[in-house]
Structure 1
Amino acid sequence: MDQLTLAVVSRNYFNLPCWIGLHAGLFAAEGIDLRIDHIEGIEEVNDRLRDGRAQLAYGVTEHVILEAEAGGALRIIGGNVNRLPFSFIARAGIGSYAGLRGKRIGVSSLRAGSSSLIIRLLARHGLHWPGDYELVPCGPILARWDLLRSGGIDAGLQGAPLDQMALDEGFVSLGNPRDEVPEFQFTSLDVDAGWAAGHRDLTLRFCRGFLAAHERFYADQATASRIAMQESGIAQRYADRAWADYTRDAIFPRDGQASEAGVKALIEISSLIRELPARPRHAADYIDRTWLAEARASL
């Protein structure tokens, strides 16, 4: 068995396809002993990919774009969260976006991730950063959930199923960002292009397990919900509800591919608030589709 390490952000539902691949033996069937490292700092995921502590990552897609602009070798080779699975959750008493004026809003990071999306969404509702509200970098959605419940922040994006859990605990939803931004490549399967080229057979075998895991997610709700409960500790009603949301809206891509439209939307939104004049505007430049294409052809 060949050992591989996949770095992922926190222990949340976003990781479910690769959790399925691990628990259902889909990577083992390809001769891979997969280790999944759950990391709370979103920047550290790409740090580990860059320095070789991890060979693949479910990373924040904007980090790959920033890395590529700096001359780095990170590339998107597959999809993960291809459409936004979030609700904008606020504490009770905040009934509209206008109610966020002067409030503290949690984001994963000021450098990438949810911050650009938040700034764009609130600007559409007449609130502008930094004058009208404070952004609080607090890490991924589990950390935001803890801060929301403790009063450390007033609002933040919460992904399914945490958004439903929040509503059941008395928090309120100000809306679904997907209504305003239907395509957005939030996270993706990323790799160092040099490492992949030097480990071609291993990368292709991982990609075959990756494709099988996405198909199993869509085809087998019972397995998907059982593994989601086992890995994240959520109750079955939330696991089942999340599965329904993710399959209905194709948040995970059934074919495993990244979304060019989603990457394009990410570039356009983040470029409005980050001074990156060297940024190319072609989403396809960041995606290498050859790995999944060859893996599928070999099935």
Structure 2
Amino acid sequence: MDRLTLAVVSRNYFNMPAWMGLHAGLFAAEGIDLAIDHIEGIEEVNERVRDGRAQLAYGVTEHVILDAEAGGHQVIIGGNVNRLPFSLVARASIDGIAGLRGKRIGVSSLRAGSSSLIMRLLAQHGLHYPGDYELVACGPILARWDLLRSGGIDAGLQGAPLNHMALDQGFVSLAEPRDDFQFTSLDVDTRWATANRDLLLRFLRGFLRAHERFHTDRNLARQVAMAESGIEARYADSAWEEYTQGEIFPRDAEASEAGVQALIETSALIRDLPTRARTRAEDYIDRTWLAQARASL
């Protein structure tokens, strides 16, 4: 068995295709002993690919773009969260998005991730950062959920199933963005990929089968979600329905060109990248790896 490490953001539902592949033995069937490292600091996920502690990542896609613009070697080779799965969850006392004026909103990072979505969404309602509200960098979804319940923040984006849990606990949803947006993706360092072609293709065969299995095996998805994240069966089912019906995880495992393009355009609006060399989604995506893996199934 060949050991591979996949770095992921926290222990949240975004990891379901990889979890499914692990539990169903789809990677083991390819001779791969897959370790999934759950990391709370979103910047560290892609840093581990950069320094070799991980060979692959379910990373925040904006970090691939930032790495590329800084002369790095990371590239998107597969999809993960291809469409926005979020609810903008707030305390019950907040009346609409206008009620967020002067409030504290939790985001994963000020440099990338959910901050760009919050800035874009609130700007559409006349609220602009930093004058109209405060962004609090508190880490990924689970950390935001803890701070929301404790009162440390007033609102934050939550994905299924935490959005459903929040509503059941008396919080309110101010918006339900479901646009094409490549929030997270399967990322790799091109130098490692080239030097380990056979190993990467074997991983990707498991990756392709895992995405198909997620969409076709609700019972296994429920069991895996409960085992990996500790949620109740009803919330595992509601998350599965949302992710399959909304095509949030791509059944074909491919990255979304429209989603990456939306990310590029949003980040260009709110982040100063004066030396940006690339402006098209396809400049950051390498589809040849999945194509080769699919051809060898």
* 2:238 pairs with one of 234, 238, 241: 241
Equivalent of 1:214 in 187, 211, 214: 211
The secondary structure found in structure 1 opposite 2:181 is: coil
Distance 1:102 1:43 in 2: 27
Deviation by residue 1:265-289 (Cα, 9 ceiling, x = unmatched): 0010111011113322111000000
Question: 1:283 — aligned with what?
Answer: 281
Distance 2:289 2:86 in 1: 29
TM-score (structure 2 length as normaliser): 0.99
Partner of 1:192: 189
Q: Which contiguous aligned blocks of 4+ residues in structure 1 show a shift greater than 2 angstroms?
A: none
- Normalising by the residue count of structure 1, what TM-score does the alignment of the two structures yield? 0.98
Which residue does 2:261 correspond to in 1? 264
Structure 2 portions without partners, runs of 5+? none
Aligned residues of 1:9 and 1:42 also touching (Cα < 8 A) = yes
Contact 1:117 1:270 (8 Å CA) reproduced: no
* Mapped pair 1:298 → 2:296: yes
* Aligned-partner Cα distance in 2 for 1:59–1:276: 20
Q: Does 1:273 align with 2:250?
A: no
Structure 1: how far apart are the matches of 2:168 and 2:268? 36
- Determine if contact 1:20/1:217 at 8 Å carries over to the other structure: yes
Unpaired stretches in structure 1, ≥5 consecutive residues: none
| Residue number in structure 1 paired with 2:170 | 170
What are the residue-to-residue correspondences of 1:88-237 with 2, within 5 Å? 88-178=88-178, 182-237=179-234
Match of 1:86 in 2: 86
User: 1:209: Cα distance to partner?
Assistant: 0.2
Q: Which amino acid aligns with 2:183?
A: F
The residue number in structure 1 matching 2:247 is 250
Distance 1:270 1:157 in 2: 17
Alignment match, 2:36: 36
| Deviation string, structure 1 residues 167-194 (Cα, Å, up to 9, x no partner) | 000000001122xxx2100000000000
Amino acid aligned to 1:265: A
Task: Give 2:12's aligned residue.
Answer: 12
Identity of aligned residues (%): 78
Contact 1:105 1:133 in 2 (8 A): yes
